[in-house]
Amino acid sequence: MTPTLSPRARVGAVSLAAVVLATFAVVYTVRAADRGGPATGSSHVTLDNTPGLYVRTADGKVAALSKGGARETALSCRRFYASGTGAVCLTTKPGIPPRTQAIVLDRSLRPRRTVTFGGTPNRARVSPSGRMVSWTVFVTGDSYSGGSFSTRSGILDTRTGYLVKNVETLQLTLDGRRYAASDVNFWGITFARDDNRFYATVATRGRTYLVEGDFKAWTARALRENVECPSLSPDGTRVAYKKRVRDSGSDPWRLHVLDLKTLRDTELAETRSVDDQAAWLDDGTVAYALPGRARGSSDVWSVPADGTGEPVRRARDASSPSMNAGR
Amino acid sequence: MYLAAGRSGPPSTVQAAPERPARRTRVASTVLALGAVSLVTDISSEMVTAVLPLYFVLQLGLNPLQFGFLDGLYNGVSAVVRLAGGHLADRRQRHRLVAGAGYALSAVCKLGLLFAGGSTTALSATLAADRVGKGVRTAPRDAMISLSCAERDLGRAFGVHRAMDTTGALLGPLAAFALLWLAVDAYDVVFLVSFCFGLFGVVLLYAFVPAHPSPAAATSRPSDLRAALRLPAVPAFRRVLVAASLLGLMSVGDGFLYLVLQKRLDLDTVYFPLLPLGSAAVYLLLAVPVGRAADRLGRRIPYLWGHLGLLGVYLVLFSPVPGWPLTVLVLVLLGTYYAATDGVLMALGGPVVPEKQRAAGLALLQSGQAVGRLLASVLFGAAWTLWSMQAALALAAAGLTATLLLARFLLPAHPTESA
């Protein structure tokens, strides 16, 4: 049995503990605050003057990998994608409650429009022309049990300014029939050249589908099962995606390419489990992020889109690849 | 060993005893101390809960859907651990030790998050250990509350405790968001500050909560497992257990109710994290008044009427009430339901369990209710998918009404006024 202290001694001991713990917490917080957030610098790198592969670096900066090495932009993003006349940068804004922003950028990487919403940034895309911008976030507190997640996707038409924050109102056709359910989730939207047709993942009742959507008609129909995070090839004939090949929690996905005309699948040479929306570098190559060696880090790899060859590492400590072909 | 100490009792428990008759009109100091421990611990746990999704996805690049699945799994484990914790506390009458071990384990897990890094295995183990800590501590803590004050003041005691507990739950997420605002992306700061709060909770427990909440309990014979398992054979306890489990089976989880609310209003995702804070604020305001009323009117009445609050939530979600009024109504009704049932059930069930099996008895009650609620959400989800949101709500409302009528007969009219 522990000897009993007097009330005064107990109050003293507790106060001492409080002071020690509070000092520790405050000092640690202040030092962490000094580590500094993303400093807003300036950079001369723009989509116009620097073609090449764009990635997000380990410290959250967007950088262009051109022949002269990596050149940083002034942007700090969670997810970045550039295509056609512009780019999109998903960032988080701390606060109560925290928010996420999709910043739509022009070719000089200057902000044109900002959309604010909740959730955790996950995917971002710009259509080949640069007109349609889409994104996906994870949302908590929006599901059957308290701890799980669901997704929410949005689309912005930058020409008309028309914004859809949640695409779940799409009229969905599954197995040839109109479908509506509480648990429908959309993610990974990828637009075609005409800025109207798009592809996305739909998940419901534990299954995932590839859907083809029509923006003007606001409809979507399922093409086939077990397709996640589609990415349309530049020529518009194929979709690169992650296919669930294992039911277990570890290493569930493998990259595949689906021919939209024949609906034939090609397994890519990348054998590791990829949890990313692949980006086409050209009609024959896709790039994607894979976990790196250090904790929380990732590297960008690429692999031929026809199932041949082998993966090549394009950048260390990088994620969110997109190809800026220049003009 | 305790048998050898005989009826004279160890000296350490003597000081708490003389205060009790004189302070009858005030809340027992043990209750306030346990309330303070819960407040501080809830700040610790809720600040981590609030940032974990962000941390998993943004910092570690993990797939959150898998963690959602694991989270559900751990919640199931928690029910089993709770019964073990309750029995362990009873067996040696060492409620503080068992609760303290649970608090300490959860505190250490916050540091575990810091060091687990991106390893999925280490993170899963840490989260599981955290759940075990929470499961272990709950029943001994509630047993200490119910043993530390006179039976007629139980409702208020639990009201005070739950109000303090909910204050922590409100402050936790706000503290976490504030820290991430001060030091951008510094999740390590959130985990470290959370650890400090958790550790301080343990210090408070050992400094201000007596080792033995009831002098009589300290000297009584140890409880054995068979006696604990035979608890449901006690008619008064069985009635409360059956009523609580059945009502739990008709109680659809918050997550689902918020989901219905969002579907109906197409609420902006920015406001999702604020919904639970809204109902917690109502719970906080009502916990003490409802507890006092429970002491005056008998605990059966607020417990049953509280479920009408939940029934009200089902009905207004069904009704054509628009926009903000609907949100406010749902949060107020939900907060009222929790205020009138959560602590009140402990005050209702406590007195019908023998003192030396108090923790195990309360653990059984909590687990019965929790398992019921888990099934309720599964059934609600199935009904929604099979038929429609409206049908699922109507079914839940009908089921709850029928169960309430049944519970009215099941629950003893004055279970606590046995003295």
A5 has pLDDT over 90 = no
Minimal-distance CA residue of chain B relative to A203: B65
Chain B interface test: which of A80, A117, A138, A207 (most B C-beta within 10 Å)? A138
Would you kindly state where each structural domain of chain A is located, as residue ranges?
A: 36-324
Q: How far apart are CA A324 and CA A319, in angstroms?
A: 15
Report which of residues A66 and B113 the model is more confident about. Answer: B113
Residue B221, in any domain of the structure: no
The type of residue at B216 is: A
A242 has pLDDT over 80 = yes
Average pLDDT score over residue span A68-80: 90
B64 has pLDDT over 90 = no
pLDDT at B7: 33
Contact residues for B351 (Cβ-Cβ < 8 A; gap 6+): B146, B151, B154, B415, B416, B418
Residue found by looking up tokens 């305790």 in the block: B2
Minimal-distance CA residue of chain A relative to B270: A118
B92 has pLDDT over 90 = no
Going by pLDDT thresholds of 50, 70 and 90, the confidence category of residue B215 is: low
Residue B4, in any domain of the structure: no
pLDDT at B265: 82
A68 has pLDDT over 80 = no
Q: State the average pLDDT for chain A.
A: 90
Residue found by looking up tokens 């605002």 in the block: B181
- Chain B residues within 8 A of A12 when measuring between CB atoms: none
Rounded to 5 degrees, what are φ and ψ at B60? Answer: -100, -15
Minimal-distance CA residue of chain B relative to A99: B270
Evaluate the CA torsion angle B138, B129, A98, B258 in order and state its sign.
negative
Q: Could you give the angle at the alpha carbon of B366 between the alpha carbons of B390 and B408, nearest 5°?
A: 65
Average pLDDT score over residue span A141-158: 70
Percentage of chain A exceeding pLDDT 70: 93
Average pLDDT score over residue span A254-270: 96
pLDDT at B303: 95
- Chain A residues within 8 A of B180 when measuring between CB atoms: 94, 98
pLDDT at A177: 92
Q: Which among B63, B365, B259 is positioned nearest to A146, based on CA atoms?
A: B259
pLDDT tens, B251-296?
988 878 887 888 788 778 888 888 889 999 999 999 999 999 999 9
Q: Is the distance from CB of B300 to CB of B306 less than 8 angstroms?
A: no
Average pLDDT score over residue span B168-190: 91
Residue B284, in any domain of the structure: yes
Percentage of chain B exceeding pLDDT 90: 54
pLDDT tens, B378-401?
888 788 878 888 899 999 999 999
Q: Is the distance from CB of A91 to CB of A100 less than 8 angstroms?
A: yes
Record: contact A117-B200, CB cut-off 8 A: no
Segment of A59-68, A241-250, B67-76, B323-332 carrying the highest mean pLDDT = B323-332
- Quote the minimal CA–CA distance from A327 to chain B in Å: 33
Pairing mode of beta strands A171-174, A219-225: parallel
Q: Which among B105, B165, B112 is positioned nearest to B132, based on CA atoms?
A: B105
Average pLDDT score over residue span B198-213: 91
Pick from B72, B183, B207: CB nearest A14: B207
Record: contact A144-B199, CB cut-off 8 A: no
- Quote the minimal CA–CA distance from B284 to chain A in Å: 20
Report which of residues B318 and B13 the model is more confident about. Answer: B318
Residue B43, in any domain of the structure: yes
Evaluate the CA torsion angle A313, A318, A319, A325 in order and state its sign.
negative
Record: contact A21-B200, CB cut-off 8 A: yes
Going by pLDDT thresholds of 50, 70 and 90, the confidence category of residue A144 is: very low
pLDDT at B1: 31
Host H or E run for residue B128: helix B120-147
Minimal-distance CA residue of chain B relative to A293: B118
pLDDT tens, B241-250?
999 999 999 9
Tokens (6 digits) for B400: 């709850």
B64 interfaces chain A, CB cutoff of 8 Å: yes
- Chain B residues within 8 A of A146 when measuring between CB atoms: 71, 253-255
pLDDT at A318: 95
Could you give the number of structural domains in chain B?
1
Going by pLDDT thresholds of 50, 70 and 90, the confidence category of residue A89 is: very high
B365 has pLDDT over 80 = yes
pLDDT tens, A268-294?
999 999 989 999 999 999 999 998 887
Alpha-carbon distances of B257 from A204, B260, B297, B396, rounded to whole Å: 19, 5, 30, 11
**Ranges assigned E (strand) in B154-277:** none
Domain that holds residue B109: 29-212+228-410
Q: How far apart are CA B141 and CA B131, in angstroms?
A: 16
Residue B222, in any domain of the structure: no
Tokens (6 digits) for B174: 């706000």
Record: contact A29-B193, CB cut-off 8 A: yes
Going by pLDDT thresholds of 50, 70 and 90, the confidence category of residue A67 is: confident
Contact residues for B327 (Cβ-Cβ < 8 A; gap 6+): B261, B265, B267, B275, B278
pLDDT at B4: 33
CATH number for the domain including B165?
A: 1.20.1250.20
Candidate CATH numbers 3.30.950.10, 3.40.190.10, 1.10.260.40, 2.120.10.30; the one for domain A36-324: 2.120.10.30
Record: contact B253-A13, CB cut-off 8 A: no
Alpha-carbon distances of B143 from B140, B154, B398, rounded to whole Å: 5, 11, 34
Residue B13, in any domain of the structure: no
Give me the residues of B, 315-374, that contact A with CB < 8 A. Answer: none
Residue B9, in any domain of the structure: no
Q: How far apart are CA B179 and CA B48, in angstroms?
A: 11
pLDDT at B165: 96
pLDDT at B67: 62
